[in-house]
Amino acid sequence: MTAPLIDPFQRAISYLRVSVTDRCDFRCVYCMSENMTFLPKKELLTLEELDRMCSTFVRLGVEKLRITGGEPLVRRNIMMFFNAMTRHLEAGNLKELTLTTNGSQLERFADDLYAAGVRRVNVSLDTIDEQKFADITRWGRLPQVLKGIDAAQRAGMRIKINTVALKDFNEDELFTLVEWCKSRDMDLTFIEVMPMGDIGNEDRLGQYWKLSDLRMRLAEQYTLKELSERTGGPARYVELEETGQKIGFITPLTHNFCESCNRVRLTCTGELYMCLGQEDMADLRAPMRNNPGNDVPLEDAIRAAIERKPKGHDFDYSRQTVDGRVSRHMSHTGG
């Protein structure tokens, strides 16, 4: 039962992204509608169930856990879960425990996260203009996020900024963001907006800014050197020769990044999505809850799900329509 997880295309699954909550203290316009209906708390996996689920994946060869949401740090008593995962780091079975956050709660948790073994944090931040930040997050406060980044860096964690490229919103901040990250010694990755969930009155196609265009803009001011580096995720990297910075690009729409996909996503209700851009999923909560003290049915369910992992997603904007849309919000699957 300890054979590694291999999908039908001979890709080893070593990376699990775990959403611990669908709730968030922001309402980013490309991620959620303003008046979201969240899951009843009884449907969520308990912290103990999350531990059991993740420990099973680690036993089956997962070496990297990324904790996501919603906003993972708004989950009550979430440090109990991080502290439980520390034992896998100490045993050497888990190589990395990390998280993606909006940064709003980092000031509170930075020291505790570092003590639990977290060494890298991705902070989702699309603008460093305070008014624009309030507009795009609807509820967010930029100074709170900046204080969180400060606290994480003081604690010793490496910060990567994830910026969704949004047409007519942060195009004018391209160089400002690059220079700001350089001044703070932070990595920066740009992400194309993905067609996930109903976002109310927002125009998904109107938000779409191709990263190939963004790269051309960068090349007007910097010399871009392609890097072969991979970090286990979908990003492709360049180095800006003038500054030595590493800039990442996640391009699910202009470049399909699926050929080396080594990850699956577990939702806070125990659904396993084998592909971010497909609707197929496996219910892992039932085999776990129906078999207390026996993980064999859960392991069997995980292996059966991995056998259905598709070759790639179907996101497509090329026909000037949002094709390949999936119905769930990003906050449900895990950002």
Task: Dump pLDDT digits (tens) for 175-184.
Answer: 999 999 999 9
| H-only helix segments in 41-173 | 47-59, 78-91, 106-116, 130-137, 142-155
Distance from CA of residue 167 to its chain's centroid? Answer: 21
User: What percentage of the chain reaches a pLDDT higher than 70?
Assistant: 85
Does residue 198 carry a pLDDT above 50?
no
Is 66 assigned to a binding site?
Answer: yes
Angle (CA) 25-81-163 rounded to 5° is: 40
Whether residue 207 contacts residue 195, with contact meaning beta carbons closer than 8 Å, is answered with no
Is 75 assigned to a binding site?
Answer: no
Is 268 assigned to a binding site?
Answer: no
The structural domains of the chain, with segments of one domain joined by +, span 15-333
> Which of these ranges, 34-43, 44-53, 283-292, 309-318, has the smallest mean pLDDT?
309-318
Containing H/E element for 187?
A: strand 187-192
Closest CA to 54 of 78, 11, 90, 88: 88
Does residue 321 carry a pLDDT above 60?
no
Architecture of the CATH domain 15-333: Alpha-Beta Barrel (3.20)
* Cα–Cα distance, 218 to 45 (Å, whole number): 43
pLDDT digit string, tens, across residues 7-19: 998 999 999 999 9
* Cα–Cα distance, 94 to 296 (Å, whole number): 21
Is 258 assigned to a binding site?
Answer: yes
Q: What confidence tier does 319 reach under pLDDT thresholds 50, 70, 90? A: very low
Is 228 assigned to a binding site?
Answer: no
Q: What confidence tier does 196 reach under pLDDT thresholds 50, 70, 90? A: very low
Is 289 assigned to a binding site?
Answer: no
Does residue 107 carry a pLDDT above 80?
yes
pLDDT digit string, tens, across residues 123-137: 999 999 999 999 999
pLDDT, position 37? 81
User: What average pLDDT score do residues 303-319 get?
Assistant: 73
Is 100 assigned to a binding site?
Answer: yes
The token duo for 202 is: 């927002």
Closest CA to 103 of 159, 47, 156, 29: 159
User: What percentage of the chain reaches a pLDDT higher than 90?
Assistant: 70
Whether residue 82 contacts residue 116, with contact meaning beta carbons closer than 8 Å, is answered with yes
Whether residue 48 contacts residue 98, with contact meaning beta carbons closer than 8 Å, is answered with no
The token duo for 108 is: 């509170």
pLDDT, position 326? 46
> Which of these ranges, 176-180, 268-272, 331-335, has the smallest mean pLDDT?
331-335
Residue 207 main-chain phi, psi, to 5 deg: -80, -20
Is 263 assigned to a binding site?
Answer: yes
As a whole number, the mean pLDDT across the chain is 88
* pLDDT: which is higher, 302 or 311: 302
Does residue 277 carry a pLDDT above 80?
no
Does residue 313 carry a pLDDT above 90?
no
Q: Give the Cβ contact number of residue 115 at 10 Å.
A: 13
Q: Give the Cβ contact number of residue 53 at 10 Å.
A: 22
* Cα–Cα distance, 41 to 64 (Å, whole number): 27
Three-class SS state of 226: strand
Is 160 assigned to a binding site?
Answer: yes
Whether residue 151 contacts residue 177, with contact meaning beta carbons closer than 8 Å, is answered with no
pLDDT digit string, tens, across residues 224-266: 999 987 665 678 899 999 999 999 998 865 555 577 788 999 9
Burial environment of residue 264 by CB neighbours within 10 A (0 to 12, 13 to 18, 19 or more)? buried
Residue 168 main-chain phi, psi, to 5 deg: 60, 15
Q: What confidence tier does 155 reach under pLDDT thresholds 50, 70, 90? A: very high
What DSSP designation does 193 have? Answer: -
pLDDT, position 2? 65
* pLDDT: which is higher, 25 or 84: 84
Closest CA to 38 of 311, 288, 332: 332
* Radius of gyration (C-alpha) of the chain in whole angstroms: 19
